[in-house]
């Protein structure tokens, strides 16, 4: 039975027992689905992934622990009658604020927005147990099992601590000195910070849109012609849009998460895992052309990815547990040094055709961060359509301003083609 301490990044995404922080990932289906198949599918998925059989214990130890429960109930299925094409959005916003605080219920739920011929399926998971790749895996598994409940999933051994990912030649003694120095510097940093009582009290929101296949293909082709990535062009476009709309308030920086599986192959594509190293990228002041910006960002991203020591980052994080609460307080009260967190999940690897239904489209994950700077953009590509969800809080960035930034970024993107 699994019992392990939450990693530092998991603790940050957990926040605390009273604060929900959930990811919601949506798929739109055409065809007829069977309720009994949902139950069979969710049972098999829960058997595969230990985190979906676990609760979070905050009372027995100094720090929170994941504890696998023998008597855990099945993953709940909430069924809502579908009336409009926007019902999924209302349900997504509701699920942002679900607290997974029942020790006998799993850290996950599925919502079925059920129509006669069209449905949306929403996976709802606390961010402390999943990243974007985890969400894609769970949706792929669910759709496969809904179509054919006889399929079997291969289970995997849950890791017991970050030490499981450390190489045999990892010099812990040498790293301990470095960790102690960083911890001391962090404590001094927090001591010097003024305590801020500023909090987001406004409403969280999401703005969702898609690009048609023609525009998506044109952007992809233009990026290839200029030798840049779609991700670097998106970063350049949105940073420039923030600059154009917000002027001197803009930070000219984005934070970009990277899939940890690139660095630690023991964490497989189909494993549920929460840690994603992040990279800060910036607009250079002496560059004016959008594709020149994208080229510089691509170069900067490549250089920083090559420097990531993911195993050491995981281990170093474990030495920072004494200051996690202060990190969370700072995130809740600090403007941060970036305009937006931009997560590009790329092409989604889920089949579109099944025996009994069709996957019409994927909607990028939504999330309502409790941080003061809650600006988040998530993008996915499915069936040659780029999909975007832009999220923030009215107190920090009004929906009107966010819409202006989105429109400006699209103008930059499409004028370049």
Q: Is residue 161 a part of any domain in this protein?
A: no
The verdict on 230 and 134 lying in the same domain is no
The number of domains in the chain is 2
The verdict on 372 and 277 lying in the same domain is yes
The verdict on 234 and 374 lying in the same domain is yes
CATH number for the domain spanning 327: value is: 3.30.559.30
C-alpha span between 24 and 94 (Å, rounded) = 10
Q: Is residue 254 a part of any domain in this protein?
A: yes
Supply the pLDDT for residue 177: 80
The tens digit of pLDDT for each residue in 325-381 reads 999 999 999 999 999 999 999 999 999 999 999 999 999 999 999 999 999 999 999
Assigned token pair, 202? 């406004």
Q: Is residue 177 a part of any domain in this protein?
A: no
The verdict on 380 and 231 lying in the same domain is yes
The verdict on 223 and 371 lying in the same domain is yes
The tens digit of pLDDT for each residue in 269-295 reads 999 999 999 999 999 998 889 999 999
The verdict on 123 and 213 lying in the same domain is no
| Residue 310 domain boundaries | 199-349+367-415
The verdict on 132 and 272 lying in the same domain is no
The verdict on 135 and 208 lying in the same domain is no
Per-residue pLDDT, averaged over 10-24, amounts to: 97
Q: Is residue 360 a part of any domain in this protein?
A: no
Let me know how many helices (H) and strands (E) the chain has, helices first.
11, 14
CATH number for the domain spanning 75: value is: 3.30.559.10
Q: Is residue 17 a part of any domain in this protein?
A: yes
- Give the model's confidence band at 168: pLDDT under 50 very low, under 70 low, under 90 confident, else very high: confident
Q: Is residue 163 a part of any domain in this protein?
A: no
The tens digit of pLDDT for each residue in 88-146 reads 999 999 999 999 999 999 999 999 999 999 999 999 999 999 999 999 999 999 999 99
End residue of a domain, out of 111, 129, 147: 147
The tens digit of pLDDT for each residue in 40-56 reads 999 999 999 999 999 99
Sign of the Cα pseudo-torsion (175, 178, 181, 186, in order): negative
C-alpha span between 307 and 299 (Å, rounded) = 13
End residue of a domain, out of 131, 147, 163: 147
End residue of a domain, out of 107, 124, 147: 147
Sign of the Cα pseudo-torsion (178, 183, 184, 186, in order): positive
pTM over 0.85: yes
The most distant pair of C-alpha atoms in the chain lies apart, rounded to whole Å, by: 62
Q: Is residue 189 a part of any domain in this protein?
A: no
The verdict on 208 and 108 lying in the same domain is no
Q: Is residue 355 a part of any domain in this protein?
A: no
The verdict on 255 and 396 lying in the same domain is yes
| Residue 66: partners with Cβ closer than 8 Å, 6 or more residues away | 2, 3, 4, 5, 6, 51, 54, 55, 56, 57
- In the block, tokens 């988040």 appear at 376
The verdict on 262 and 394 lying in the same domain is yes
The verdict on 221 and 80 lying in the same domain is no
């Amino acid at each position: 039975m699994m019992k392990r301490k939450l990693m530092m990044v998991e603790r940050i995404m957990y926040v605390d027992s009273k604060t929900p922080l959930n990811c919601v990932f949506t798929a739109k289906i055409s065809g007829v689905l069977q309720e009994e198949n949902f139950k069979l599918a969710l049972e098999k998925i829960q058997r595969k992934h230990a985190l979906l059989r676990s609760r979070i214990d905050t009372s027995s130890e100094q720090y929170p622990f994941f504890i696998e429960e023998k008597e855990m109930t099945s993953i709940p299925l909430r069924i809502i009658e579908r009336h409009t094409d926007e019902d999924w959005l209302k349900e997504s916003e509701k699920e942002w604020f679900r607290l997974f605080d029942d020790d006998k219920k799993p850290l996950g739920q599925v919502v079925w927005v059920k129509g006669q011929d069209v449905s949306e399926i929403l996976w709802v998971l606390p961010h402390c147990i999943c990243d974007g790749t985890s969400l894609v895996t769970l949706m792929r598994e669910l759709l496969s099992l809904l179509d054919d409940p006889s399929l079997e999933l291969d289970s995997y051994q849950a890791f017991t601590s970050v030490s499981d990912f450390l190489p045999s030649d990892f010099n812990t003694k040498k790293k301990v000195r470095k960790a102690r120095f960083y911890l001391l510097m962090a404590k001094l940093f927090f001591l010097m910070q003024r305590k801020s009582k500023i909090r987001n009290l406004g409403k969280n929101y999401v703005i969702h849109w898609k690009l048609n296949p023609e525009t998506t293909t044109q952007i992809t082709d233009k990026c290839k012609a200029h030798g840049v990535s779609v991700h670097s062009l998106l970063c350049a476009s949105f940073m420039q849009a923030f600059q154009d709309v917000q002027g001197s308030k803009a930070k000219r920086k984005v934070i970009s998460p990277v899939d940890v599986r690139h660095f630690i192959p023991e964490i497989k594509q189909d494993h549920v895992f929460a840690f994603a190293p992040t990279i800060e990228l910036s607009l250079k002041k002496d560059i004016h052309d959008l594709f020149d910006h994208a080229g510089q960002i691509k170069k900067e991203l490549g250089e920083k990815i090559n420097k990531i020591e993911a195993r050491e980052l995981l281990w170093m994080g474990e030495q920072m547990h004494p200051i996690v609460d202060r990190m969370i307080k700072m995130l809740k009260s600090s403007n941060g040094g970036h305009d937006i967190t931009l997560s590009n999940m790329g092409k989604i690897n889920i089949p579109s055709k099944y025996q009994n239904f069709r996957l019409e489209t994927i909607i990028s994950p939504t999330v309502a961060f409790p941080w003061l700077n809650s600006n988040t953009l998530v993008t996915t590509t499915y069936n040659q359509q780029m999909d975007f969800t832009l999220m923030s809080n009215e107190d920090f960035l009004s929906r009107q301003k966010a819409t202006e930034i989105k429109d400006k970024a699209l103008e930059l993107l499409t004028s370049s083609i």
